[in-house]
Amino acid sequence: MPIHNVDIARQFETTADLLEIKGENPFRIRAYRNAARIVEDLPHELASMVAEEADLTELEGIGKDLAEKIKQIVTKGSSPALEKLRSELPPHITDLLNLPGLGPKRVRTLYKELDVVDLDTLKKAAEAGRIRELPGLGEKTEKQILEGIASQADSSRRFLRAQVIPYAEAYQEYLRASPYVKKIDLAGSYRRGRETIGDLDFLVWADDAPAVMEHFVAFDEVREILAQGDTKSSVVLQSGVQVDLRVVPEASYGAALHYFTGSKAHNIAMRKRAQQRNWKLNEYGLFDGEEAVAGPDEEGIFAALDLPWIPPELRENRGELDAKSLPELIAESDIRGNLHAHSRWSDGKNTIAEMAEAAREAGYEYLAMTDHSKRLTVANGLNEDRLLQQIEEIDELNQTLSDFVVLKGIEVDILEDGSLDLPDSVLSLLDIVIVSVHSKFNLPADKQTERIMRAMDNPHTTFVAHPTGRLLLGRPPYAVDVSKLIRHARERGCFLELNANPQRLDLNDNYCQLAKKEGVRICINTDAHNRIDVAQMSHGIAQARRGWVEAKDVINTLPRDPLIKLIKSIKG
Yes or no: say if 8 and 39 are a contact pair by the CB < 8 Å rule. Answer: yes
- Mean pLDDT of the region 79-105: 87
Q: Say if residue 326's pLDDT is above 90.
A: yes
User: What's the pLDDT band for 36 if we cut at 50, 70, 90?
Assistant: confident
In this predicted model, what pLDDT tens digit does every residue of 196-213 receive, in sequence order?
999 999 999 998 999 999
User: What's the pLDDT band for 154 if we cut at 50, 70, 90?
Assistant: very low
304/217 Cα distance (integer angstroms): 37
> What is the bridge-based pairing of β-strands 285-288 and 291-294?
antiparallel
371/388 Cα distance (integer angstroms): 12
Residues linked to residue 525 through DSSP beta bridges, in sequence order: 499
Yes or no: say if 188 and 199 are a contact pair by the CB < 8 Å rule. Answer: yes
**H or E element: which one contains 540?**
helix 538-546
pLDDT given at position 360: 96
pLDDT given at position 454: 98
Yes or no: say if 551 and 334 are a contact pair by the CB < 8 Å rule. Answer: yes
In this predicted model, what pLDDT tens digit does every residue of 231-277 receive, in sequence order?
999 999 988 899 999 999 999 999 999 999 999 999 999 999 999 99
> Among 292, 283, 231, which residue's Cα sits nearest to residue 257?
283
As a whole number, the mean pLDDT across the chain is 92
Q: Which CATH number fits domain 332-570: 3.30.70.20, 3.30.200.20, 3.20.20.140, 2.40.10.120?
A: 3.20.20.140
Considering the segment(s) 250-326 as one domain, its CATH architecture is: 2-Layer Sandwich (3.30)
Yes or no: say if 16 and 33 are a contact pair by the CB < 8 Å rule. Answer: yes
261/311 Cα distance (integer angstroms): 11
In this predicted model, what pLDDT tens digit does every residue of 372-397 receive, in sequence order?
999 988 888 999 999 999 999 999 99
Q: Say if residue 137's pLDDT is above 90.
A: no
User: What's the pLDDT band for 150 if we cut at 50, 70, 90?
Assistant: confident
137/121 Cα distance (integer angstroms): 17
- Mean pLDDT of the region 476-481: 90
194/42 Cα distance (integer angstroms): 23
H helices within 155-295, ranges in order? Answer: 161-176, 188-191, 209-217, 253-261, 264-275
User: What's the pLDDT band for 153 if we cut at 50, 70, 90?
Assistant: low
483/486 Cα distance (integer angstroms): 5
pLDDT given at position 144: 81
> Which residues neighbour 476 within 8 Å (Cβ) at sequence distance 6 or greater?
100, 470
Is the alpha carbon torsion for 225, 226, 228, 232 positive or negative?
negative
pLDDT given at position 156: 54
Q: Say if residue 59's pLDDT is above 90.
A: no
The structural domains of the chain, with segments of one domain joined by +, span: 5-154, 156-248, 250-326, 332-570
pLDDT given at position 207: 87
Please give the residue that has the higher pLDDT: either 377 or 516.
Answer: 516
Q: Which amino acid, one-letter code, is at 509? A: D
Could you check whether 250-326 and 332-570 share the same CATH topology? no
Burial of 179-217, coded b for 16+ CB within 10 Å and e otherwise, reads ebbeebbbbbbbbbbbbbbbbbbbbbbbeebeebbebbb
Beta strands in 214-327 (DSSP E): 222-228, 232-237, 242-248, 280-282, 285-288, 291-294
Fold (CATH) for 156-248: Beta Polymerase; domain 2 (3.30.460)
Yes or no: say if 416 and 448 are a contact pair by the CB < 8 Å rule. Answer: no
384/475 Cα distance (integer angstroms): 31
How many CB atoms are located within 10 Å of the residue 510 CB? Answer: 14
**5-154 carries CATH number 3.40.50.261:** no
In this predicted model, what pLDDT tens digit does every residue of 405-431 receive, in sequence order?
999 999 999 999 999 999 999 999 999
- Mean pLDDT of the region 311-321: 96
536/453 Cα distance (integer angstroms): 29
Q: Say if residue 215's pLDDT is above 80.
A: yes
pTM: 0.81
Q: Say if residue 33's pLDDT is above 90.
A: no
163/175 Cα distance (integer angstroms): 20
pLDDT given at position 376: 87
Q: In what order do the strands lie in the sheet with 495-499?
A: 337-338, 366-369, 405-413, 432-436, 463-464, 495-499, 522-525
**If you compute the radius of gyration of the chain from its CA atoms, what whole number of angstroms results?**
25
In this predicted model, what pLDDT tens digit does every residue of 156-192 receive, in sequence order?
578 999 989 999 999 999 999 999 999 999 999 999 9
Three-state DSSP state, 216 = helix
